[in-house]
Amino acid sequence: MKFNEGMAAVEAILFACGEPIELEKFAAAAEIEKDTVEKIIDLLNQRYSEQQSALQIMRLGTGFQMMTRAEFAPKIKAALETRRNVPLSQAALEVLAVVAYNQPVTKSFVEQVRGVDSSGVVNSLVERNLLEEYGRLDLPGRPIAYKTTENFLRCFGLSGLESLPAIPDGSGQIDFDEYEEMTLSGE
């Protein structure tokens, strides 16, 4: 393996891990000797410093971890808080309601109820830890079923699914035909 390839492999492993990786495991994964891994890490840190990069590689015990420099912590915190505080869209609220009242459900069930493609919305709700995979249904194609999470309950102030408000039964509401008649007659 060429040195540049080894350097790229070390950087890729550090980036992908997101937590400390032990030197022995690191060397085995990169297929590089431990001494060479340490030299590559020193060179990467030197490059990051010269380029005034926000990244650095720290030795933590017997392992290494890629992380951002401390001076960028306030900006990172602000960015993460902004992302967390983004309100849910109407589509996301609709999907949550469909799942909460009918769980476990598949994406196709949600799409059937809503009448529009809901894949992206379901995926974003999984990323936000409001929905989670419940398993696969024993149907053709073995579709994934989804259910709400404990985080969903916490975010909406519910002690459990039994705390969800009851679905209106339709009493006291008019149907579309009655509405049309009222509109045409001027009521």
According to the 3-state scheme, what is the secondary structure of 127-162?
HCCCEEEEEECCCCCCCEEEEECHHHHHHCCCCCHH
The rounded distance, in Å, linking the Cα atoms of 73 and 70 is 5
pLDDT for the residue numbered 126: 93
pLDDT for the residue numbered 39: 93
Which residue type occupies 24?
E
Residue 94's nearest CA partner among 78, 112, 77, 76 is 112
The rounded distance, in Å, linking the Cα atoms of 145 and 160 is 19
Which residue type occupies 162?
E
If you average pLDDT over residues 159-164, what whole number do you get? 84
More confident residue, 136 or 170: 136
pLDDT for the residue numbered 174: 64
The rounded distance, in Å, linking the Cα atoms of 123 and 118 is 9
pLDDT for the residue numbered 60: 82
Task: Give the burial class of 181: count Cβ atoms within 10 A of its Cβ; 0-12 exposed, 13-18 middle, 19 or more buried.
Answer: exposed
Residue 84's nearest CA partner among 114, 128, 42, 123 is 128
Asked if the model's pLDDT at residue 50 lies above 60, the reply is yes
pLDDT for the residue numbered 15: 92
Q: What percent of the chain has pLDDT over 70?
A: 89
The rounded distance, in Å, linking the Cα atoms of 177 and 43 is 75
pLDDT for the residue numbered 133: 93
More confident residue, 82 or 44: 44
Residue-level length of the chain: 187
Mean pLDDT is lowest, of 8-12, 132-136, 180-184, for: 180-184
Strand partners, 133: 146
pTM (2 d.p.): 0.49
Residue 104's nearest CA partner among 138, 154, 151, 155 is 138
Average pLDDT, the chain: 86
More confident residue, 160 or 183: 160
Q: Locate all alpha helices (DSSP H) within 85-134, ordered by sequence.
A: 90-102, 107-114, 119-127
Tell me: the pLDDT tens digits for 54-93? 999 998 878 899 999 989 988 888 877 765 566 889 999 9
More confident residue, 166 or 7: 7
CB 134 within 8 A of CB 145: yes
